Structure 1
Amino acid sequence: MTEITRAEVCAAACADAWRGAGEVLAHAVGVLPAIGARLARLTTSPDLVLSDGEAFFMSEPPPLGRTAADAGVVESWVPYRRVFDIVASGRRQSMMGASQIDRYGNQNISLIGDWRRPKRQLIGVRGAPGNTVNHRTDYWVARHSPKVFVEKVDVVCGVGNDRARAGKGLRFHHLGVVITDLAVLDYGDDGRLRVRSLHPGVTAEEVRRNTGFEIDTGGATETRLPGEAELRLIREVVDPGRLREREVPLSR
């Protein structure tokens, strides 16, 4: 077996976020989350519902880069309007990206700078508020850096733990994990991010240096390596084109 890459460690960590999720729709934004959702469906979460990213639910996940038109087995047609019903019902689990995220999990994907005159316009708030108040939301960050992990986000798109606890009507708010190219983070009882595990070869100091706020690394273990069966699925079934290495290169 060839050496296990950092991208494959991240893929297995992403899959673990859906472990035992049951019959919910997996919403995966990015290459590694998409690999993780497919890997979970083929291993620990057989009831997980996948879409092809367009308009179909798939009973057999197609490899990355292919859709229902040329791969996979279609279970049903899903017009866009139905997705809103699924989100509102909570029968969905999302792994989104984050342009900025703070210590409480407030997430920004909208803009950088003053909202009245931003330095950078990003993709907008999109579905982040609805996701974070209706069902579990995890985050994927391809490059862990102080520019992403900031003291205060410029715009709140995804609702963090501090705001959820202070607000009303947010009883379904559920932030899960934040997976990066360096580590897996989760939240302590105080609602703040902490390091759950460090990827092999990564030090606690490296994570602290690349985080723009103080973060607890004291209880960190080492992120697990994918097993042989998982590696075969990643390499031969889910991502034979090795798109994972574009998002998490072999060397940082």
Structure 2
Amino acid sequence: MSGASRAEYCVIACAEAWRGAGEILASPMGPIPSIGARLARRTFAPDLLLTDGEAMLVDADGTVEGWLPYRQHLELVTGGRRHVMMGAGQIDRFGNQNISCIGEWAEPRRQLLGVRGAPVNTLNHPTSYWIPRHSRRVFVERVDMVCGVGYDRAARHPVTARFHHIARVVSDLGVFDFDTPDRSMRLASLHPGVTVAEVRQATGFEPTVPDDVPYTREPTTEELRLIREVIDPDGTREREVPDRVGEGGGL
């Protein structure tokens, strides 16, 4: 089977967010996180609970396994038995996320989704982020409005934020975590074909960069088969992240 595309490395990076999670609700938002969650369920995380996005629990094929009414969904959310992977209009060095508006709150330049459930998510259960287009417009020094709570703000209220945990940020360039003394963003891995210089150029702040940054792990032959033939035979992943492996840089 041929080598993996950039999109397939992103699928693997998203799937890894749920490794070892146990029997929790995986809530992926977006095509690639959804493919990643289904891949994790089929391989190394068989206890994951998946939904159809409405009121049903489904298996990795979409077959209905059970009923998940909204009140029970909220019990999982507030009880910490969920790991959501959300998007972000903006995200800063401490993981504060904005999906509400761009510009000053009193007169924003652009209206986005709204705050929605981001504060509850970040204060009650593990949260990760998926960003398909890594740029300085998204990775900013300071978000225009805080929706998802970052580590600096969580530290101000340790009792309220005792369950706060941002597991990872996955973009089309690499994987980031907050495993630093001040809990600021760190480059954890690069997708093959990406350089540290590209990441720095596309980020509106200076992330922590280790001396030796690994590459995102290779998908196995079986994982590639599942992605290409079973989970996403129509190639929606490639439309979300076009293949750029081997182009030698440039955004």
TM-score range relative to shorter protein: over 0.9
Partners of 2:74 and 2:193 in 1: how far apart? 41
**1:159 equivalenced with 2:153 (yes/no):** no
* 1:165-198 deviation per Cα after TM superposition (whole angstroms, max 9, x unaligned): 1114110001111000001001123110010011
Corresponding residue of 1:61: 60
1:125-204 alignment runs, 5 A limit: 125-167=115-157, 168-187=159-178, 188-204=180-196
Partners of 2:109 and 2:201 in 1: how far apart? 25
The number of aligned residues is 242
1:1-252 alignment runs, 5 A limit: 1-58=1-58, 60-62=59-61, 72-167=62-157, 168-187=159-178, 188-218=180-210, 219-251=212-244
User: Which residue type is aligned with residue 176 of structure 1?
Assistant: A
CA shift for structure 1 position 220: 1.6
Runs (4 or more) in structure 1 with deviation over 4 Å come to none
Partners of 1:20 and 1:45 in 2: how far apart? 6
- Aligned-pair Cα RMSD in Å: 1.0
Partners of 1:189 and 1:53 in 2: how far apart? 37
Partners of 1:225 and 1:123 in 2: how far apart? 34
Identical amino acids, percent of aligned pairs: 58
Helix, strand or coil at the partner of 1:222: coil
Partners of 1:83 and 1:189 in 2: how far apart? 34
Helix, strand or coil at the partner of 2:230: helix
* 1:36-84 deviation per Cα after TM superposition (whole angstroms, max 9, x unaligned): 10000001100000011121101x223xxxxxxxxx3222111223211
Helix, strand or coil at the partner of 1:150: coil
Partners of 2:216 and 2:66 in 1: how far apart? 36
* 1:97-137 deviation per Cα after TM superposition (whole angstroms, max 9, x unaligned): 01100000000000100111110000001111011000000
Partners of 1:78 and 1:49 in 2: how far apart? 10
Corresponding residue of 2:248: none
CA shift for structure 1 position 215: 1.2
